Amino acid sequence: MTVGAVLTHPVREVDAFEIEPAVIEASRYFEPINGRPLDDDRLHLVIGDARGELRRDVEPYDVIISEPSNPWITGVANLFTRDFFELTASRLAPGGIFAQWFHLYGMSEASNAEGTEFGDERILECVQASPIGIEPGELVKQVMAAVRDFPVGEPQGDDITVLVVRYRG
């Protein structure tokens, strides 16, 4: 789906790396809605481990989109490590963008005594209220402080994970 979405834009080329051949085969079932990316000449599809491909001496990327499965699946945790984030940062062109999908379904939100969840809107408010150019670590501290203050003493059931990455090119 993501490759199809990217190819709706005027990109010159897209390198897609997929470690599981069955995912490529299954993508044909989504052709009515994914734009048939496998038939687009701009797509360079590699069946293999993206980490290995990123380590090769190739041109830098303007955008890297990582869509690993859940981090508890065998082998996937390697795509949530400092090593992987540093590798992707090293492969970005100046001003490049790295985006990574991270599953949050099945995780409860911080909620207050009225049962109101902290939610995406409050996270966005925290980010928008932060000064431009704030260091990622400081932004995490600000968001986490807002999340901790929100429940006003109500017990919470899940760990809270926040990841903010800024590439310095």
Helix H, strand E, coil C: the string for 30-70 is: HHHHHCCHHHCCCEEEEECCHHHHHHCCCCCEEEEEECCCC
Superfamily of domain 2-107: Vaccinia Virus protein VP39 (3.40.50.150)
Of residues 95, 117, 98, the one with CA closest to residue 107: 117
Domain segments of the chain as ranges: 2-107, 108-169
pTM score of the predicted model? 0.65
Could you list the pLDDT tens digit for every one of the 169 residues in the chain? 789 889 999 999 999 998 889 989 998 898 888 889 999 999 999 998 888 888 886 789 999 988 877 666 677 777 778 888 889 889 999 988 888 877 655 555 788 888 888 887 888 888 888 888 777 778 878 888 888 888 887 777 655 555 555 555 4
